[in-house]
Amino acid sequence: MNTAQMLQAHAAWFDLLDADQQARVVRDTVLAEVPEGTIIEHKGVVAEAWIGVLDGLVKVSVGNADGKLASLTGVPAGGWIGEGSLLKREARKYDIIALRRSTIAHLRGDTFYWLLDASIPFNRYLLHQLNERVAQFIGKAEYDRLLAPDARVARCLAELFNPLLYPGNSMRLEITQEEIGFLARISRQRTNQALRALEAAQLLKIEYGAVQVLDLDGLKDYGV
């Protein structure tokens, strides 16, 4: 697929733009295929682009000088991230890292700002995304402190199926137990135990290299 087709398939906001706006976005978007482990955006670097995941899976994480790392969230295909740093014109406070081979879009910052001035529908979309992102991180701060590992895995998976942040995705996501463990910050063995418990509760079905969600609301409320 070309850039326009990729954006139509994996950017819910693209169809909200008029033809001239779409043409400029296509012109000013750079696509890149990145291998697993690639740092797509570095913490401390001034944001110059809006980042979209068109295929694959990335994580947003932070670390310190002692080498301790914490995953903030995962972003599957269809997700766009980093608008906060762009809006504040500041250095990113996190790394964006590919958990597997991914196709990444970089929309130029000046075009992002131009859309803010030119498109009311784009502004509304971004407002809803920012509101949902705030709710997501507030919830994550809560469950990281209060919930047991099984419930943390349930919430971690529920985040990846958020229809507002990642629209257009089905209830099946290609994701390995190792990747889930990275995002939930627990071992692969403990992740396997949690997934088995969630499957026994009929909230999801474990497939080879994938998870099929059967009850999204149940995942969100598990362990509460």
Beta carbons of 9 and 1 less than 8 angstroms apart: yes
Same domain, 85 and 182: no
- Give pLDDT, residue 98: 94
Q: Give me the percent of the chain exceeding a pLDDT of 70.
A: 91
Same domain, 116 and 63: yes
Tell me the C-alpha distance between 69 and 61, whole Å: 7
Same domain, 188 and 123: no
Domain termination residue (choose one: 74, 101, 132):
132
- Cα angle: 48, vertex 54, 56; to 5 degrees: 110
Whether residue 52 has pLDDT greater than 80 = yes
Tell me the C-alpha distance between 72 and 222, whole Å: 20
- Give pLDDT, residue 32: 95
Look at residue 167 and tell me if it is in a domain.
Answer: yes
- Give pLDDT, residue 53: 95
Look at residue 58 and tell me if it is in a domain.
Answer: yes
Whether residue 110 has pLDDT greater than 60 = yes
Tell me the C-alpha distance between 136 and 116, whole Å: 23
Look at residue 141 and tell me if it is in a domain.
Answer: no
Same domain, 98 and 192: no
* CATH code of the domain covering residue 54: 2.60.120.10
Same domain, 14 and 122: yes
Domain termination residue (choose one: 98, 132, 166):
132
Look at residue 139 and tell me if it is in a domain.
Answer: no
Q: Residue 71 sits in which domain range? A: 3-132
Same domain, 110 and 175: no
Same domain, 200 and 104: no
Same domain, 97 and 7: yes
Whether residue 105 has pLDDT greater than 90 = yes
Same domain, 114 and 170: no
Q: What average pLDDT does the structure give for the chain? A: 89
**Total domain count, the chain:** 2
Cα–Cα separations (whole angstroms), residue 200 to 117, 148, 173, 195, 219: 50, 17, 19, 8, 12
Same domain, 25 and 118: yes
Give the pair of three-digit tokens for residue 107. Answer: 């929309």
Q: What secondary structure letter does DSSP report for 14?
A: G
- Give pLDDT, residue 145: 61
Whether residue 61 has pLDDT greater than 90 = no
Same domain, 154 and 93: no
